[in-house]
């Protein structure tokens, strides 16, 4: 099962995950990172610069999970812009080495296959950061997504459109379609790190970590992966049945074991 780490707040989670990412970059300057958008990974990105002081990041490679279809790449809320603003610029990464799926309408039929090829050519993702939607989606894999799915176009649920309306002027402005790494793609990353904060994520987290493995809750796909770390605050952990055990195992974690 996933290792579940319950931390006091999002900042503590950010520090923990940033430590591991910095370690990976130092060990392999060409490491391939799996990047996520949304508000959840922000504490990780914010904690990284101080940990990378003096570290050569010029060859670090990255793949974002998803993108809206038909959005102008220059739109401030395209995931390409978001990754650029929140990760590439503050960390000083080479923008040419950090990719998002191509959501342009032209060529959208083969954009998924192209992205899969690019990830494979890079040798796969070493560490994939994941948030989780209130409906249990990871990436933009909405309920019903196949566990074998690869990068492809999906239609967003009404709930996701409403959740993401805060980034746009209105819910009508949120693009209805997206292109997202599939659950099968995500499961090929060597280490999955799922973060969630706040009461609003508690149900999705409990379903993903302890519920049945079901396409109805795509986050439950993490149970099929051999190396998963779930980092949550107390509120997001509030519906976990085995929270006491997670605290106990983390308090007694062998010193030699990394994240």
- Report, as residue numbers or ranges, the catalytic residues: 66, 135, 137, 142
- Closer CB to ligand GLP, 116 or 160, in the complex: 160
- 8 Å CB contact between 215 and 146: yes
Contact, 195 vs 40, CB < 8 A?
A: yes
Three-state DSSP class for residue 219? helix
37 vs 145 by CB, closer to ligand GLP:
37
Structure tokens at 180: 């997202």
Q: State the nearest-atom distance from the C-beta of 197 to ligand GLP, in Å.
A: 8
Comparing CB distances to ligand GLP, the nearer of 133 and 211 is: 133
Instruction: Return d(Cα 202, Cα 135) in angstroms, integer.
Output: 11
Q: How far apart are CA 44 and CA 27, in angstroms?
A: 19
Residues within the interface to ligand GLP (CB under 6 A): 36-40, 65-66, 131-133, 139-140, 160, 164
- As measured in angstroms, the least distance from the Cβ of 138 to ligand GLP is 7
Least distance CB 179 / ligand GLP (angstroms): 11
């Amino acid at each position: 099962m996933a290792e579940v780490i319950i931390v006091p707040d999002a900042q503590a989670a950010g520090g923990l995950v940033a430590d591991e990412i910095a370690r990976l970059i130092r060990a392999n300057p060409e490491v391939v990172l799996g990047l996520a958008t949304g508000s959840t990974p922000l504490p990780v990105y914010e904690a990284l610069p101080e940990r990378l002081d003096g570290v050569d990041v010029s060859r670090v490679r990255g793949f974002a999970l998803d993108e809206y279809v038909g959005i102008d790449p220059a739109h401030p809320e395209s995931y390409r812009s978001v990754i650029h603003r929140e990760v590439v610029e503050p960390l000083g990464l080479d923008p040419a080495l950090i990719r998002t799926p191509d959501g342009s309408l032209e060529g959208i039929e083969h954009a998924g296959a192209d992205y899969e090829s690019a990830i494979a050519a890079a040798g796969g993702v070493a560490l994939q950061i994941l948030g989780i939607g209130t409906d249990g989606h990871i990436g933009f894999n909405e309920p019903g997504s196949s566990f074998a799915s690869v990068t492809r176009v999906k239609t967003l649920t009404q709930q996701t459109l409403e959740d993401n309306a805060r980034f746009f002027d209105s819910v009508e402005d949120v693009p209805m379609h997206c292109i997202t790494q599939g659950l099968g793609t995500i499961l090929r990353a060597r280490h999955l790190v799922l973060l969630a904060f706040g009461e609003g994520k508690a149900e999705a987290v409990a379903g993903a970590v302890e519920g049945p493995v079901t396409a109805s809750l795509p986050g439950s796909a993490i149970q099929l992966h051999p190396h998963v770390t779930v980092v949550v605050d107390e509120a997001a952990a509030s519906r976990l049945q085995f929270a006491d055990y997670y605290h106990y195992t983390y308090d007694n974690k062998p010193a030699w074991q990394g994240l």
